[in-house]
Chain A
């Protein structure tokens, strides 16, 4: 049976790095271009469909339409409400992804389609704070197993399959909506004009040989480090609005985790963003988010390991891959206007 569908946007490409991948102006460190020299990131198509009925799985988050004829045999819970909209939430979803994907869609649905209860994994405290701030928390239905919803309103990002493969998408305009609403509700507060958004864990899944040196160097340069996963700044806990205010007050942000790229949206236009990436393993999400939010993106490429990734883990390493942050490259990226 054909489902009702509204296309909000078609998949397209984003030309990242408006000034080009210029060495020592945009790209620092190794003399190779990131992304294989390509300047196009993927922007998702966005469409809304109604599944009657639909199934939502909280972790890992997934939704699908159900065939009404087979629903009686399945092992899933029943939603307490007849109509709901699924949301990607919970501890498995980074805050940056939650704000730019799940929350943005929930807000658009509420403002444009109407009030619909949200259904998804129980939100983290920061996610709950965002839902509260946008008055979306009261109708939230937390689930811990696959749940059937009689009428599910599903707004999804679609990247467009190529030869049967679904490519990753990096950013789109609708990711701005919830961020702008939260940003409007805070007054910028300058904890430091330079902030590093970094996890205690190394870049992506890498071991970083000089992590302690880099941390010390950042501190000596007056860069304040925020851990967006733990929502901490030094020994202090950080509320969501604190995080938004601190980023809004910054003029330069160092970031190494593409999954938190959405948080950059709290920065005001023109803020310098210095991405730390590993050569050959670059991810365009941060660059794409900078284009969508009018931020000034630079990247520092660090050397990739020379050994084959199919080898056993090197002695003394906690992960297979290892790199060393190019501190001189980061210093240059911070200095260049």
Chain B
């Protein structure tokens, strides 16, 4: 195989919008499986602005919207979704970079130059979609971005579309098996060139799109639910960096009937059933709240958000999945970097969330 780096520069990236748009499901199917078809794009959804009201924006002097560039209104932008069909493209299983020899790096997949320098690329005669994007090892990105992309594309284009990626971790393999995608999963160990790669820009790190629901709802159906549905969960695994403040959060939460849970020993199915059994969940921003998509719509979610990490991921996730999002901003000392928990605000928040202690 020839070295694919010849026509490229170190900065050659391209977006979906640079490709010719295909309109209609039948035409798109042809663009994906016809070897002679040119590279193309199918636009599934444009960017949308959505309201993300919190039931309690307390605990800090600032409203979180202000830190995300929305000073007065609690709105977030939901990224649009497009799919691309790239002939003769390469997939690097380490970085999940997609490289089109004719165009450069597919921008939503990042751009690891390792794939350019690799001279031992394999070649496979088949049409594939990557199982995840650049953040393949991050459970949030795998669950709500990469996996839904593969599930939706496979549902749209049928079983001729294979799912490809690296050797999966056990939790990832469990999720694929639950969706029936493990059969025919194409595991690769080095950058591999395919007849065609079909990928969406859902692999970008932005919060999830509406299409994440298609995969999570299937998983929830597959995993089922325990008979108890009254649990209140505190997720966080100690949050060592928060020191005494985390102990205070545990104490206050336990007053309101929350139980600290350790997810580490549980399988993905057990974790999904645990979250499905919850009526309320508390956790810090980030991966701790990654599994709230398994909760039933209407479940109360309290995001403990420090002023050092005012991201919008969880609020959009809650909005897209119909969850009640509560938000407590915890200030951080400018000098020591320690959290400065306001216990009074926490209690008000918990009371609003689940009623009196």
Contacts and interface: CB of A to CB of B under 8 A. Distances in A.
B298 A270 contact: no
B158 A135 contact: yes
Contacts of A15: 298, 324
B241 interface: no
Interface of B: 23-25, 42-46, 48-51, 53, 55, 78, 152, 155-156, 158, 178-180, 210-211, 213-214, 217-218, 220-222, 224-225, 227, 229, 276, 296-298, 319-322, 324
Interface of A: 6-10, 12-15, 18-19, 43, 46, 108, 111-112, 133-135, 171-174, 176-177, 180-181, 183-188, 241, 248, 268-270, 291-294, 296
A174 B276 CA distance: 13
A292 B220 CA distance: 15
A26 B101 CA distance: 53
Given A12-B229, A14-B298, A15-B324, A180 B213 contact: yes
A249 B258 CA distance: 42
Contacts of A269: 48, 50, 78, 210, 319-320
Contacts of B23: 187
Contacts of B178: 112
Dominant secondary structure of chain B at its interface with chain A: mixed
Contacts of A174: 217, 220-221
A294 B210 contact: yes
Contacts of A173: 213, 217, 220, 296-297, 321-322
A73 B26 CA distance: 49
A269 B25 CA distance: 22
Contacts of B296: 9, 12, 43, 173
Nearest to B49: A270
B217 A176 contact: yes
Contacts, number: 130
A270 B50 contact: yes
Nearest to B83: A184
Nearest to B218: A111
B324 A18 contact: yes
Contact of B224 (A6, A14, A171, A296): A6
A8 B78 CA distance: 29
Contacts of B51: 270, 296
A9 B276 CA distance: 8
Contacts of B156: 181, 184-185
Contact of A294 (B44, B55, B155, B322): B322
B42 A187 contact: yes
A10 B217 CA distance: 14
24 contacts: A7-B227, A8-B224, A14-B322, A18-B55, A111-B180, A111-B218, A176-B217, A181-B152, A181-B155, A183-B211, A184-B152, A184-B155, A186-B25, A186-B44, A187-B44, A269-B50, A269-B320, A270-B48, A270-B51, A291-B297, A292-B322, A293-B322, A294-B50, A294-B322
Most buried by A among B48, B152, B217: B217
A291 B48 contact: no
Contact of B298 (A183, A268, A291): A291
B143 to A, nearest CB: 15
Most buried by B among A133, A172, A188: A188
